[in-house]
Structure 1
Amino acid sequence: MKNFKWMALAALAAALALPFTRPVVAAPFGDTLDSPAIQSEKAVSGAFTGLASAGKRLVAVGQRGHIFYSDDAGVRWHQAHVPVSSDLVAVQFPSPTQGWTVGHDGVVLHSDNKGETWSRQLDGRHIGQIMLEHYQRQSAPNEVLLAEAQRMIDEGADKPLLDVWFTDEKTGYVVGAFNLILRTDDGGQTWVPLMDRTDNPGALNFYGMRAIGDDLFIVGEQGLVLKLDPTTQRFVNVPTPYSGSYFGITGTPGAVLVYGLRGNVYRSTDHGANWEKVELGVSSSITTSTVTTEGRIILVSQAGHVMVSADNGATFTQQPQVRLGPTAAVQAIASDVVVVAGTQGLRQLPFE
């Protein structure tokens, strides 16, 4: 199986044809967690994998711990100060000042000044111990999860985190490979593992997490879609017609869309109870999305197709093809302009 999102984020264009599987023997984690990101003007032309708005500011994250921010809609970029050089994958700001980014080595970074400087809140050296202590305290310890926690401790820092979602400045989640999910209710000061609260018995990878309206969804490999049950606080399975990998979720309060391999997009207007396929006319994997302030939904494919919907995702219009290269993230900055991030750096892109 080709898990494109992880390949694109982990190794980008050089690894687009390789599957992501658990290593048999964990490699030493080196010093990426101990080495700050190198300050370099050339880094803005490198590979970026995440984009977010911090109020009117744009923040981009990418390889080697590089984070850049722009106050003029992506025309000029300034490098942030980052305490690690681990590859960063995703970023989100639930408010204009407070933001979080996640990535390789289980790293979780926080900024309280619109992305100019960042501090470490969590990393893969500690996730296993957090898991072990949490599941040891349960009245009926789960031996499978205890063994998984010990494995994580033994393997070291190699804990890929692939997405982050905060509902506000206090409550948030991070998700990653092999059912890895943690929650915080104090802005990242402490974290609680939720691996026992997911309908994911195969420990499939989590690729994306988003709130659409009042619903919080997770998507992953092999057609996995989960939705948070607010009563039980459990992420329950949501069946869909597709068994391939989903890389992301998008939508408006009236419709949710999941998208992934080979141009597959499915849409639900009843909170995930029923799904219909959205025909795009492309066979390339859909890797990223954004929604404009007017509610237009934008999807971008691995091959650089840009598709826009003005009817809550029921239909999409393909924009004239441009040479984007492999694209990992997109962020709307105006009603007719987005910024895209990928192997060729950061660029503005107008659309109709």
Structure 2
Amino acid sequence: MRRRAHVAALGLLLAASPAAAAGFVDPLDQPAGPSALAARRPLLSVARAGERLVAVGERGLAVLSDDGGARWTQAAVPVSEDLTAVRFASPRLGWAVGHGGVVLASEDGGARWERRLDGRGLARLLDAWARDGAGRIAPAALAQARDLAARGPDQPLLDVWLDAAGREGFAVGAFGLALATRDGGRTWTPWLDRLENPRALHLHALLEARGALYLAGEQGLLLRLDRAAGRFRAVAIPYAGTLFGLAADGRALLAFGLRGTVLRSVDGGPWRKVASGVEAALTGGAALPDGRLALAAASGELLVSADGGATFERVSAPGAVLAPAFAIAPAGPGALAVAGAEGVRVVALPRPREAP
């Protein structure tokens, strides 16, 4: 943390100089620059688009692979803001979100991306929503919208979800920011008044499981969408720390976060803590085609469960490097794509143990 503070202070001094000011280009106006090492730069999210792998990360970088991660090519991205999450509804249709209130869409499997929203438009949207909602929207939500709008374009979005048709979806982020769309991301509506999140906690992860949509955030916040009421309602869990992600198989739903914390619910039942065996924050999760569940830690450790998340085993995977991991996705039979501080790599997992 101290090193980050020094770097941030240096950045502020440089930005204040006349030369820096004269040469500044807003990342919202600057396409991601080409890099021969794009797949080895810090990447924050990875997803499957059919058989293709797509990863996104710092300064608008997006890379894709059609051969299981052996080779990566850089995609065309219209911004150079950090991209924090990527999701695909089909092999061709996907969305990505990031800092600067950026929402991007791709209709060709992640090769090219177009802007659907950015922080400037988002600030105007929030301001108009707050003005038009006076007298009919809860005062706390209106105040939250005004506070977010006052931040200007600096609006970090941290996750995105879209339905199978690519029409309805949500984007969520810092300070309780939540947006909904019904037209494929062409227009957005603030949902600040439709979340049971009175403290405007950060919202980190969305996941659809067993026909329900869940939303996880800091300080033990877990919400489930009540589709009939059009609201995200709080779910009681035995944990008050930060949750970074969600994962699910056919029966079990996992929520995971700081200090190796894993919570598990089976068939919609009560939530219970599960021992993960690691102390580092758990930052990524995925269901594998063979039925196993996998988790990744900020320490670079990989965990695999063959019993629906009831127990976990640390795995030593060929090709795995203990660098901070931020997200994972299935990469084919017995393989896992890991996005992290040293880029994206595909590791082969040990084969599942056969039942005695």
By the TM > 0.5 criterion, same fold? Answer: yes
Counterpart for residue 107 of structure 1: 102
Would you say the 8 A contact 1:263–1:284 is kept in 2? yes
Q: What CA deviation, in whole Å up to 9, does each residue of 1:42-97 have, x standing for no partner?
A: 22211000101111111010101010110001110011111000000000001110
Would you say the 8 A contact 2:277–2:312 is kept in 1? no
Residue 233 of structure 2 corresponds to residue 276 of structure 1: no
Q: Percent identity?
A: 43
Alpha-carbon distance in 1 for matches of 2:51, 2:281: 30
Give, in angstroms, the shift of residue 135 of structure 1: 4.1
Residue 31 of structure 2 corresponds to residue 31 of structure 1: no
Residue 231 of structure 2 corresponds to residue 238 of structure 1: no
Q: Which moved more, 1:276-285 or 1:147-156?
A: 147-156
Aligned-partner residue type, residue 296 of structure 2: V
Counterpart for residue 152 of structure 2: 156
Alpha-carbon distance in 1 for matches of 2:207, 2:35: 32
Q: Identify which of 165, 190, 193 aligns with 1:193.
A: 190
Q: Identify which of 334, 338, 341 aligns with 1:340.
A: 338
TM-score after normalising by structure 2: 0.88
Over 6 Å off, 4+ runs: none
Counterpart for residue 91 of structure 1: 86
SS, match of residue 106 in structure 1? coil
Would you say the 8 A contact 1:129–1:149 is kept in 2? no
Give, in angstroms, the shift of residue 279 of structure 1: 1.0
Would you say the 8 A contact 1:98–1:113 is kept in 2? yes
CA distance 1:86–1:14, shift in 2 (3 Å)? farther
Q: Which moved more, 1:28-37 or 1:109-118?
A: 28-37
Alpha-carbon distance in 2 for matches of 1:286, 1:15: 21
Q: Aligned-pair RMSD on alpha carbons? A: 2.2
Would you say the 8 A contact 2:126–2:149 is kept in 1? no
Q: What CA deviation, in whole Å up to 9, does each residue of 1:165-224 have, x standing for no partner?
A: 112210111000011010111100100110101110010000111111211111111111
Counterpart for residue 320 of structure 1: 316
Aligned-partner residue type, residue 195 of structure 2: T
Would you say the 8 A contact 2:331–2:346 is kept in 1? no
Residue 51 of structure 2 corresponds to residue 56 of structure 1: yes
Give, in angstroms, the shift of residue 136 of structure 1: 3.6
Alpha-carbon distance in 1 for matches of 2:75, 2:272: 42
Aligned-partner residue type, residue 185 of structure 1: R
Alpha-carbon distance in 1 for matches of 2:277, 2:58: 32
CA distance 1:143–1:132, shift in 2 (3 Å)? farther
Q: Which moved more, 1:200-209 or 1:36-45?
A: 36-45
SS, match of residue 331 in structure 2? strand
Q: Identify which of 291, 296, 299 aligns with 2:292.
A: 296
Would you say the 8 A contact 1:298–1:307 is kept in 2? yes
Rg comparison, structure with higher value = 2
Alpha-carbon distance in 1 for matches of 2:3, 2:161: 28
CA distance 1:30–1:179, shift in 2 (3 Å)? farther
Q: Which moved more, 1:224-233 or 1:133-142?
A: 133-142
Counterpart for residue 24 of structure 1: none
Give, in angstroms, the shift of residue 301 of structure 1: 1.0
CA distance 1:97–1:303, shift in 2 (3 Å)? same
Give, in angstroms, the shift of residue 30 of structure 1: 5.5
Alpha-carbon distance in 1 for matches of 2:286, 2:214: 16
Q: What CA deviation, in whole Å up to 9, does each residue of 1:115-149 have, x standing for no partner?
A: 11110000111213212323444452433333333
Residue 273 of structure 2 corresponds to residue 261 of structure 1: no
Alpha-carbon distance in 1 for matches of 2:332, 2:97: 26
Give, in angstroms, the shift of residue 15 of structure 1: 4.8
Between the two proteins, the alignment pairs up a number of residues equal to 331
Matching of residues 116-265 of structure 1 within 5 Å: 116-138=111-133, 140-168=136-164, 169-265=166-262
Alpha-carbon distance in 2 for matches of 1:237, 1:162: 19
Aligned-partner residue type, residue 124 of structure 2: Q
Alpha-carbon distance in 1 for matches of 2:57, 2:284: 15
Counterpart for residue 4 of structure 1: none
Give, in angstroms, the shift of residue 252 of structure 1: 1.5
SS, match of residue 223 in structure 1? coil
Give the unaligned 5+ runs of structure 1: 1-6, 8-12, 19-26
Give, in angstroms, the shift of residue 98 of structure 1: 0.5
Alpha-carbon distance in 2 for matches of 1:31, 1:298: 38
